Chain A
Amino acid sequence: MSTPLLQLRGLRVRYGSVQALSGIDLTVHQGELVTLLGSNGAGKSTTLLAISALVPASAGQILWRGASLAGVPAHRLLKLGIGHCPEGRRVLGRQSVADNLILGAYLRRDRAGIAADLERCYGLFPRLAERRQQLAGALSGGEQQMLAIARALMGRPALLMLDEPSLGLAPKLVGEVMQVLAQLHQDGLTLLLVEQNAQAALEIADRGYVLEAGQLTLEGPARELLANPSLRAAYLGAP
């Protein structure tokens, strides 16, 4: 089997005296859409923040294409191919939609490629095209989420990590966002999707992990997890 794109081995993170992650093993292979599920405070965002070097790991390893990421600062990770669409959208509200997208391509030098990707993003999210000159802060929550995803795509990551893209969106918009992610997956992009909305995430994912209080409790193909009775009871609201 080929080297996984991303591999976490025994990853631990502590915030002061609180153990947020107590030994996570997680693998993402090239071309997969993997989802990390769990309730609020389970450690899902912490996992992504640790991969992005925004919180320090207290133990364990983060391997990217087989090599350790220890000591690599946050701003170098996109260059290596790791894109991170953070929780809460975090669009730059004082800059225009277009400028947000152009900033997503900050590391790239290929003007023609950037222009082409800009059009591709506008094609993916027609609403952003209509609002390209508006300040990002003036967009609705759903539009900001689309902008955050599009901005992350502008960096041409090999792996796109998304932190709860469905949070705070109307059900119809959740469907739209998931459809775009499924499309990106189909086009060959590797995704690590952190979600509370287990149903929506598992419907488009290849594999899933369930995180509870800093530990992985379940993992497997998405189809199996969708059918798993304990998961259904805990996260899908089914009896």
Chain B
Amino acid sequence: MIEALLQLLLNGAASGGVYALVALGYTLVFSVLGVINFAQGALFSVGGYLTFLLMGGKIGVNGALPGWGLPSGLPFWLALLLAAAGSGLIGLLVEQVAFAPLRRRNAEPLLALITSLGAGVVLVNLLQLLMGAEGYAFPQSTDALAGLPDVLVIGGARIRTIQLLLLLISAAAVLVLSLWLERSKGGRALRAVAEDATTAQLLGIPSAAMVRLAFFLSGALAGLGGGLIGVSVSLPGPYFGISYGLKGLAVLVLGGLGSVPGAIAGGLLMGLAEALVPSAASGWRDALAFAILFAVLLLRPSGLLGRRTVEKV
């Protein structure tokens, strides 16, 4: 009984950690520009596929280059790190294509919702062109995890190693990012740009470069999530990131727009709630997630830890 509960909690925390990664990615961009980057889900997919290729996966028969792959795969850790960095770079590209031109023309910021959605659709379709629409399973997870056993037994509970890694890696990423934002010079400067980009410039902070940094980090977080989910489950097709992108959006609203602790708390709450749905009723998982979202928003319209919007006088 206890073991089953432990297992449930770990599963929930693991997927909650990934939701938190995605939501934090949204938060970074939202806090500096006040808009949602709808390409986030596509970047999640990109991260999954990049991790797959970097670990030595071969392109399937429906891809652009069937059978092509790296001559030898990189270890899981390195592949994940490089895939996150790669997704970050593609996130930068999304900023250059979908956000920067609008800013230069002083366009209505809400238009970026459409342009970023468009960028996301293009990315997912490029993935499909390159890799085909088929699903991919990662190479044997034992090899992938550099010799770690597939299953660990903790307190009588059998736990998939990858689930534990998922939780640890996303927790570490979230922790490092929050500390960086809160304590470091760069983090302070990014928050300054988020609050008042003009004043930040007067202090010598290059606001435009900080915006690009936010997009890079945001893309890297999505890519990291995609890689982790890919390794732990599989890559069911180029669109798989979109549903995580939507879930991340729900988490973002649940936790409170623009709040870093809110994104983390919202992610964990969402993951745990989903894990408590019995597997026989797994079809209700998403319904439950969004029911929680509605319930929280009815009681706290600004989200769990959201800042109450104060009108300036």
Residue ranges of A at the interface with B (Cβ–Cβ < 8 Å)? 52, 54, 73-79, 83-84, 86, 90, 92-95, 99, 102-104, 106-107, 151, 155
A75 to B192, CA, bound (A): 13
CA distance A52 to B198 in the complex (A): 10
Interface size of B in residues (CB-CB distance below 8 Å): 17
Q: Could you say which of A73, A94, A106 contacts B203, with CB atoms under 8 Å apart?
A: A106
Q: Is there a chain A Cβ closer than 8 Å to B207's Cβ?
A: yes
In contact, B189 and A75 (Cβ under 8 angstroms): no
Residues of B within 8 A of A106 (CB): 185, 189, 203-205
| B142 CB-CB contact with A under 8 Å | no
Contact indicator A155/B204 (Cβ below 8 Å): yes
Alpha-carbon distance between A95 and B195 when the two chains are bound, in angstroms: 9
Whether B191 is near chain A, meaning CB under 8 Å from some CB there, is yes
Given contacts A102-B188, A106-B185, A106-B189, contact A75 B206 (CB under 8 A): yes
A-B contact count (CB 8 A): 62
In the complex, which residue of chain A has the Cβ closest to the Cβ of B205? A106
| CB-defined contacts of B201 to chain A, threshold 8 Å | 54, 73-75
Inter-chain contacts of B205 with A (CB < 8 A): 75, 103, 106
Is B188 touching A78 in the complex (CB atoms < 8 A)? no
Specify which chain A residues have a CB less than 8 angstroms from the CB of B203 in the assembled complex.
78, 103-104, 106-107, 151, 155
The CA of A155 and the CA of B202, in the complex, are separated in Å by 10
Chain A residue nearest in CB terms to B186: A106
- Asked if B199 is an interface residue, CB under 8 A from chain A, the answer is yes
Q: With a CB–CB cut-off of 8 A, which chain A residues contact B204?
A: 75-79, 106-107, 155
Q: When each residue 198-222 of chain B gets 1 if its CB lies under 8 Å from chain A and 0 otherwise, what string results?
A: 1111111111000000000000000
Q: Which of B192, B200, B204, B207 has the most CB of A within 10 A?
A: B204
Query: In whole angstroms, what is the CA distance A107 to B202 when docked?
Result: 11
Contact surface of B with A, Cβ cutoff 8 Å: 185, 188-189, 191-192, 195-196, 198-207
CB distance from A132 to the nearest CB of B (A): 15
Q: Is B191 within 8 A of A54, CB to CB? A: no
Point out the residues of chain B lying under 8 angstroms from A77, CB to CB. Answer: 202, 204
Q: Which residues of B contact A95 (CB under 8 A)?
A: 188, 191-192, 195
Question: Which B residues are CB-close (under 8 A) to A84?
Answer: 202
Contact residue among A78, A79, A86, A92 (Cβ-Cβ distance under 8 Å from B192): A92
Q: List 16 A–B pairs whose Cβ atoms lie within 8 Å, in order of A's numbering.
A: A52-B202, A73-B206, A74-B202, A75-B201, A75-B205, A75-B206, A78-B203, A84-B202, A92-B191, A92-B195, A94-B191, A95-B191, A103-B188, A103-B205, A106-B203, A155-B203
Which residue on chain A has the smallest CB distance to residue B195? A92
Q: Which residues of the other chain, A, contact B200 by a CB distance below 8 angstroms?
A: 75, 103
A94 touches B188 (CB 8 A): no
Chain A residue contacts of B206, Cβ below 8 A: 73, 75
Chain B residues with CB under 8 Å of A79's CB are 204
Known: A93-B195, A94-B195. A99 touches B188 (CB 8 A): yes
Chain A residue with Cβ nearest B185: A106
B191 cross-chain contacts in A, Cβ below 8 A: 92, 94-95
- Which chain B residue shows the least CB distance to A76? B204
Residues of B within 8 A of A73 (CB): 201, 206
Chain B residue nearest to A54 (CB atoms) is B198
Q: How far is the CA of A54 from the CA of B196 in the complex (A)?
A: 13
Q: A92-B192, A106-B205 are in contact. List 4 more A-B contacts (CB 8 A).
A: A74-B198, A75-B200, A92-B191, A103-B188
Q: Write the nearest CB–CB distance from A215 to chain B, whole angstroms.
A: 26
Complex-state Cα separation, A94 to B185, whole angstroms: 15
Q: How far, in whole Å, are A30 and B15 apart by their CA atoms in the complex?
A: 62
Cβ contact of B207, chosen from A75, A99, A102, A104, cutoff 8 A: A75
Chain B residues positioned under 8 Å from A155 (CB to CB): 203-204
CA–CA, A95 and B193, complex, Å: 12
